[in-house]
């Protein structure tokens, strides 16, 4: 053993002293986990607004959320008496005993989100409850009110403002400042929430901007909502899909959603998944579906998927991830398999009908347009100008129709890639 090694052996004999961390340190560490980036704060705030039965939720963001995140809703508001403990850790109106977790319907349950925000940013709450003449405004730091709530004018509901996020976490702030994509993440999050919660109107804009980047209105049609949020070209290539199982020995679930067909071509797959109304990620399901697309529609192998899965709440463990990004399901593998088969069946059916159409067109003499007049009316819509125009001279007349969308022209090559032409793409 040389000198150095002897030294190390001696040092390692002495165990380091264990000490209790100061509460403020514990709280800040925990907060850093719950609020990982600005988009996590937006998610928590919007979920609170949903839990408050809001029908309108408006988000304003400055500097990717680092300078300001403001979420305003028209929900039930917060009682004056509760404002003092509103932002303390583990204070919640949604859970009182552990067993409640089994059947919890609200998005939140830990009473940690608002507290976390006050440990890593400056939080100001303005709220009014039903029947009150005025509301209250109060600011918080490190879990506590900075002063007594001040009476103020307020419209129905609650507005929560988070300023200077991560002002006390220099390293995190630096890494986030270098990446400018948090606003994009926030827009993406609100788009996802908007197409699921169709009875709530959402908006999201940059501070000072006149135009909102997400703007949804309440509707009774999911497809309308997808059209508004993701654009006409996405909505046009969607097919409704359902699957279910009700056998306790295998799985119990119901799935309802929309999946893209062979006309939807994108660089990246989009999977919007809700399990019991929670926006979650499930990489196993996403992978299973992508495999089916690659095998069935190789040219449209990056799909757009919206799925809402509902299962008995006692089959879902919601308490497995600090930001609640994932849940764990009973019989997950079987559920994934069943949904995968449903997707495969749907794609095969749609593929067959496309192939059939193609064959009809290809075998028809009118595929060389302008030769057989009596056959054309069946294939071209009446009054369609294109009867006289050769294919290579055709122009796009509907600006919402992406360039290259050739079905309308009876080309026999319907799989030409589409530009993803939603207003959202521009933001992304
Ligand atoms: P949790 O959502 O887990 O209960 P939070 O820290 O997110 O914890 O919120 C604490 C409590 O504050 C909630 O339980 C709720 O009663 C109240 N609250 C928060 N945001 C709102 C809001 N926008 N409208 C009404 N009440 C709210
Ligand atoms: Mg919450």
Choice from 40, 72, 96, 108 to test ligand 1 binding pocket (greatest atom count within 8 A of CB):
108
Q: Let me know if 130 is exposed, middle or buried by CB neighbors in 10 A (0-12, 13-18, 19+).
A: exposed
Ligand 1: atom nearest CA of 86 is: 12
Spell out the residues 6+ positions from residue 335 whose beta carbon is closer than 8 angstroms to its own: 245, 251, 253, 285, 309, 311, 329
Q: Considering the entire predicted model, what is its pTM?
A: 0.81
Rounded to whole angstroms, how far apart are CA atoms 26 and 232? 48
pLDDT, tens only, 230-281:
999 999 999 999 999 999 999 999 999 999 999 999 999 999 999 999 999 9
Q: Whose atoms come closest to the Cα of 31: which ligand?
A: 1
Q: Residue 7: what pLDDT?
A: 59
Q: State how far the Cα of 388 lies from the Cα of 369, in Å rounded to an integer.
A: 8
Q: What is the pLDDT of residue 181?
A: 80
Q: How far is the CA of 113 from the centre of ligand 2 (A)?
A: 5
For residue 48, the CA-to-ligand 1 centroid distance in Å is 5
Residue 65 neighbours by CB distance under 10 Å: 25
**CA-closest residue to ligand 1 atom 8:** 111
DSSP 235-279: HHTEEEEEEEEEETTTEEEEEEEEEE-TT---SS-EEEEEETTEE
Ligand number nearest to the C-alpha of 115: 1
User: Ligand 1 pocket check: which of 41, 44, 48 to mutate, most ligand atoms within 8 Å of Cβ?
Assistant: 48
The string of DSSP letters for 31-51 reads: HHHH--SHHHHHHHHHHHHHH
pLDDT in tens, 14-54: 999 999 999 999 999 999 999 999 999 999 999 999 999 99
CA of 50 to the centre of ligand 2 (A): 9
Give pLDDT, residue 101: 86
Residue 381 pLDDT: 38
CA 75 to centroid of ligand 2, rounded, Å: 14
Q: Which residues have CB under 6 Å of ligand 1?
A: 44, 48-49, 52, 73, 75-78, 86, 92-94, 108-115, 158
Q: Which ligand has the shortest distance to the CA of 93?
A: 1
Mutate to test the pocket of ligand 1, among 114, 145, 278 (most ligand atoms within 8 A of CB): 114
Q: pLDDT > 90: what percent of the chain?
A: 68
- Distance (Å, whole) CA 336 – CA 334: 5
Which tokens go with 136?
């209250």
**Rounded to 5°, angle at Cα 73 from 71 and 44:** 50
Q: Which residues of the chain carry a pLDDT beneath 70? A: 1-12, 178-180, 354-428
Cα of 82 vs centre of ligand 2, distance in Å, is 15
């Amino acid at each position: 053993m040389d000198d150095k090694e002897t030294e190390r052996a001696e040092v390692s004999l002495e165990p380091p002293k264990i000490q209790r961390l100061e509460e403020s340190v514990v709280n800040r560490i925990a907060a850093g986990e719950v609020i990982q980036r600005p988009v996590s704060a937006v998610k928590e705030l919007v979920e609170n607004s949903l839990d408050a039965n809001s029908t309108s939720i408006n988000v304003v963001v400055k500097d990717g959320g680092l300078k300001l995140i403001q979420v305003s809703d028209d929900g039930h508001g917060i009682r004056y008496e509760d404002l003092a403990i509103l932002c303390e850790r583990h204070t919640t109106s949604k859970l009182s005993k552990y067993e409640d977790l089994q059947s919890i319907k609200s998005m939140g349950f830990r009473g940690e989100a608002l507290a976390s925000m006050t440990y890593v940013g400056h939080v100001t709450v303005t709220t009014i409850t039903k029947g009150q003449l005025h509301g209250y405004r109060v600011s918080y730091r490190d879990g506590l009110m900075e002063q007594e709530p001040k009476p103020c004018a307020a419209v129905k509901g609650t507005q929560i403002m988070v300023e200077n996020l991560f002002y006390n976490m220099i390293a995190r702030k630096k890494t986030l400042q270098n990446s400018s994509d948090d606003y994009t993440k926030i827009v993406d999050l609100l788009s996802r929430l908007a197409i699921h919660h169709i009875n709530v109107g959402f908006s999201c804009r940059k501070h000072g901007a006149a135009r909102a980047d997400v703007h949804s209105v309440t509707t009774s049609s999911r497809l309308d909502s997808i059209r508004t949020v993701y654009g006409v070209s996405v909505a046009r290539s969607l097919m409704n899909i359902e699957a279910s199982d009700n056998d306790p020995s295998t799985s119990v679930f119901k799935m309802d959603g929309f999946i893209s067909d062979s006309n939807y071509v994108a660089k990246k797959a989009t999977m919007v998944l809700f399990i019991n109304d929670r926006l979650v990620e499930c990489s196993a399901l996403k992978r299973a579906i992508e495999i089916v697309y690659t095998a069935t529609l190789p040219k449209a192998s990056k799909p757009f998927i919206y799925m809402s899965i509902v299962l008995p709440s006692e089959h879902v463990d919601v308490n497995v991830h600090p930001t609640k990004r994932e849940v764990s399901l009973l019989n997950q593998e079987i559920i994934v398999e069943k949904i995968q088969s449903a997707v495969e069946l749907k794609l095969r059916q749609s593929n067959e009908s496309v192939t059939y159409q193609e064959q009809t067109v290809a075998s028809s003499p009118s595929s060389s347009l302008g030769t057989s007049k009596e056959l054309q009316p069946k294939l071209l819509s009446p009054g369609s100008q294109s009867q006289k125009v050769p294919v290579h001279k055709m122009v796009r007349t509907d600006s919402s129709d992406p360039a290259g969308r050739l079905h309308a022209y009876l080309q026999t090559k319907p799989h030409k890639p589409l530009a993803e032409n939603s207003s959202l793409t521009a933001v992304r």
